């Protein structure tokens, strides 16, 4: 546990230093993400009035999916280079990636993650559907009332932790799958994979709690201001800051996991061959 904390602390410190040196990249990614969300919102309002509009909607959603894939591949590529130590900042040239090989690998991981996501979601739906049964079972055997709402809250916490571990695992796969092997030479030393797994989970938990929590507080906070211009101003400010926090959380998470992924790539080279 202590070793995992030390590994995670080094990765977190490296990630924060890169983010401090990359304010323009962070702002540009937040702006692109905001425009992507706005385009997706506008797509939802396209009327189904004719075949031409339906064709436009189909092309529109394909373009949004391609842009999201390019953003994902670009941010992963930027984080990989920065985590390897070759750059102390995130390069704007890599904010969008259109390389066929990297896009193909990213698409494979996304499709695999989507399949696992639906399978895990179906399992959680089945578990949540039996919350009342579990509460009744515990009430009968403990001889004291157990609320199904309490069981639901416990299951929600467990599911959230599993989702965080699942997201970290997928990102580690993507980083390991897309990073060239020669970048492992930049890693300082080999690290046990067990420690990396715990460090990746702690990184995902930290990113979700700190950055996601602050973004959630901002979006759900409704200050009382005068109607009109001030109301729109506070709405735009809150949503803009929340989007910036989410961008920082995303980049922090990817940078830290990229550093851990490079450590994992180094691990086979640092271990003795089996006889």
Could you write out the DSSP letters of every residue in 78-105? HHHHHHTTS-SS--GGGSS---HHHHHH
pLDDT tens digits, residue range 68-83? 999 999 999 888 888 8
* % the chain with pLDDT above 70: 86
Element (H, E) at 177: helix 148-178
* Model pLDDT, residue 130: 84
DSSP letter (8 states) at residue 120: H
pLDDT tens digits, residue range 217-257? 998 888 887 877 888 888 888 999 999 999 999 999 999 99
DSSP letter (8 states) at residue 186: G
* Model pLDDT, residue 208: 93
pLDDT tens digits, residue range 142-201? 888 878 788 888 889 999 999 999 999 889 888 877 654 444 444 444 444 444 678 888
Q: 264 falls in which pLDDT band (50, 70, 90)?
A: low
CA dihedral 182, 184, 187, 193 (to 10 degrees): 180
* Model pLDDT, residue 67: 95
* Model pLDDT, residue 270: 39
First vs last Cα of the chain: how many Å apart?
30
Q: 39 falls in which pLDDT band (50, 70, 90)?
A: very high
* Model pLDDT, residue 273: 40
Q: Count of residues for the chain?
A: 275
CA distance 254 to 26: 13
pLDDT tens digits, residue range 10-38? 788 888 989 999 999 999 999 999 999 99
* Better-scored residue on pLDDT, 116 or 181: 116
Mean per-residue pLDDT, 85-106: 84
Q: Specify the range with the lowest mean pLDDT, choosing from 79-88, 117-126, 227-236.
A: 79-88
Q: 211 falls in which pLDDT band (50, 70, 90)?
A: very high
* Model pLDDT, residue 189: 43
Residue 32: both structure tokens together = 């692109």
| Number of C-beta neighbours around residue 48 at 10 A | 8
Instruction: Identify the three-state secondary structure at position 273.
Output: coil
Which CB contacts under 8 angstroms, 24+ apart, belong to 91-98?
Answer: 91/25, 92/24, 92/25, 92/28, 95/25, 95/28, 95/29, 95/32, 95/71, 96/67, 96/70, 96/71, 97/70, 97/73, 98/70
Instruction: Identify the three-state secondary structure at position 142.
Output: helix
CA distance 149 to 168: 29
pLDDT at 63 over 90: yes
Mean per-residue pLDDT, 27-56: 89
């Amino acid at each position: 546990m202590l070793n995992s904390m030390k590994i995670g602390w080094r990765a977190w410190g490296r990630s924060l230093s890169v983010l401090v040196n990359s304010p323009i990249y962070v702002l540009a990614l937040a702006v692109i993400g905001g425009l992507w969300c706005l385009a997706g919102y506008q797509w939802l309002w396209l009327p189904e009035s004719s075949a031409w509009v339906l064709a436009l909607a189909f092309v529109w959603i394909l373009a949004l999916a391609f842009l999201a894939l390019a953003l994902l591949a670009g941010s992963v590529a930027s984080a990989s280079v920065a985590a390897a130590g070759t750059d102390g900042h995130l390069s704007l040239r890599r904010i969008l990636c259109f390389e066929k090989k990297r896009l193909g690998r990213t698409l494979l991981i996304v499709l695999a993650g989507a399949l696992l996501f639906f399978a895990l979601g179906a399992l959680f739906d089945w578990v949540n559907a039996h919350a009342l049964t579990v509460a009744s079972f515990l009430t009968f055997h403990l001889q004291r009332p157990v609320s199904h709402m309490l069981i639901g809250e416990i299951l929600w916490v467990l599911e959230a932790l599993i989702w965080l571990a699942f997201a970290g695992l997928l990102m580690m796969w993507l980083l390991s799958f897309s990073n060239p092997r020669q970048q492992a030479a930049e890693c300082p030393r080999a690290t046990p994979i067990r420690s990396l797994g715990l460090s990746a989970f702690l990184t995902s938990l930290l990113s979700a709690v700190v950055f996601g929590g602050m973004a959630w507080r901002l979006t759900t906070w409704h200050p009382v201001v005068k109607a009109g211009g001030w109301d729109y101003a506070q709405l735009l400010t809150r949503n803009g800051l929340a989007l910036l926090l989410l961008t920082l959380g995303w980049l922090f998470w990817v940078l830290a996991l990229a550093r851990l992924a490079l450590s994992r790539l180094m691990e086979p080279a640092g271990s003795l061959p089996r006889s």
